[in-house]
Amino acid sequence: MAFIMEKENRQNNNLPKTHPRYESLLYRHKIIEGMKNLVVAEAGLIAHGRGECLDYILGEKTNITAEKAIKAAVAMLLLAKKPVISVNGNVAALVPNEIVKLSKMINAPLEINLFYKKKGRVEAIKKLLENAGAHGIRGIYEDKMVEIEGLDSNRRLVESICYSDVILVPLEDGDRTEALKKLNKQVIAVDLNPLSRTSLCADITIVDNIVRTLPEMIKIVGELKKFSENELKKIIENFDNKKNIKNTLDLIINYIEKQKEDAFEILGT
C-alpha cells in the first residue's frame, strides 16, 4: 500500500494527495510540464497565476452566475451552424481530454490559435490533442489561414474561425473578441476575470475556471441535446450577459466581505 502511494506521488512530481491544495498544485504542475514541452508559452505561467488569484476571490467554485452562462453557452453552441473551439497553450495543457470530448459532442472543430509564436509550439499542442483523441485539428498550416481585419497580434491568423458563426474562446487575451464581434460572430468566453475586455465584449461570458467549466459543459450538452430548437432559443433569450457579469461582481464583493469577517474573527479584532 505504502509502495503504491509512493509511486503515485512520484508520478505527480511528489505532490502529496493529502495536501490541502493538492488540486491547485496538480494544475500548476500541468502548466509547468506544458511549458517544458513547448505547449504552454512562458507567459502562460503568469496567466495561470493571475487566474489562480481571481479564482480565489470567486471561492474556487462554479458559481450560480457561471452555471447560468454555461447553460446559455451550450444552447448557443448546439444551435450554431458552424461552431468552433479556439485552443491555446494553457487550455491544451490543463484540459486536453475534456476539450476534445466537448468538440466531438457538439461537432465543433478545435482550432489552435496562439498569441505567442515559437517554433514547435503548434506541433506540440497538435500532438497533445491528438493523443487525447482529436482529429482534423485546424490552425496548423499558415497557408490555409486568413487574417482577421483590424488585429495586429498573432491571433489574427485564423482558419475555420473565419467561416464560423459561434466561437468558444477560453482564456483569451486582449482584443480578438472585439475584432470577432465586428465580423458579426457570436463569442462565448471562459475567463476568470469578469472585467477583462474579452469578458465585457463577449456575447456570453463564463466567469469560471476552465478546469471546472469544461466538465460542466459536457454534462449540460448531454442534458440539452434532447431539447428542441425553440427550447434552446428560449434559454438564450432568457439570459442577460450584462446582468450576469454585474451579479458575478456582486458575488465577488460578498465573498471578500465574508472572508474579511472570518479573518477578523481569527485575528480577534
Gap between the Cα atoms of 34 and 90, Å rounded: 8
Span of 59-67, 165-173, 178-186, 219-227 interacting with ligand PTJ by CB under 6 A: 165-173
Distances (CA, A) of 7 to 10, 15, 29, 30, 45: 5, 11, 17, 18, 27
Name the residue nearer to ligand PTJ (CB basis): 154 or 238. Answer: 154
Name the residue nearer to ligand PTJ (CB basis): 62 or 90. Answer: 90
Q: Confirm or reject binding of residue 171 to ligand PTJ (CB under 6 A).
A: yes
Q: What angle do CA 200, 227, 109 make, to 5 degrees?
A: 55
Which residue of 34, 51, 83, 109 would you call a contact of ligand PTJ, by CB under 6 A?
51
Residue 171's closest CA among 120, 141, 134, 214?
214
Binding to ligand PTJ in span 181-220, by CB under 6 A: 190-193, 196, 209-211
Name the residue nearer to ligand PTJ (CB basis): 85 or 192. Answer: 192
Which residue of 15, 38, 47, 166 would you call a contact of ligand PTJ, by CB under 6 A?
47
> Strand pairing partners for 187?
167
CA 157, chain centre distance (Å): 20
Binding to ligand PTJ in span 95-114, by CB under 6 A: 114
Which residue of 15, 35, 38, 41 would you call a contact of ligand PTJ, by CB under 6 A?
41
> Strand pairing partners for 111?
86, 138
Q: What is the CA radius of gyration of the chain?
A: 19
Residues that bind ligand PTJ (CB under 6 A): 41, 43-44, 47-48, 50-51, 54, 88-90, 94, 114-116, 171-173, 190-193, 196, 209-211
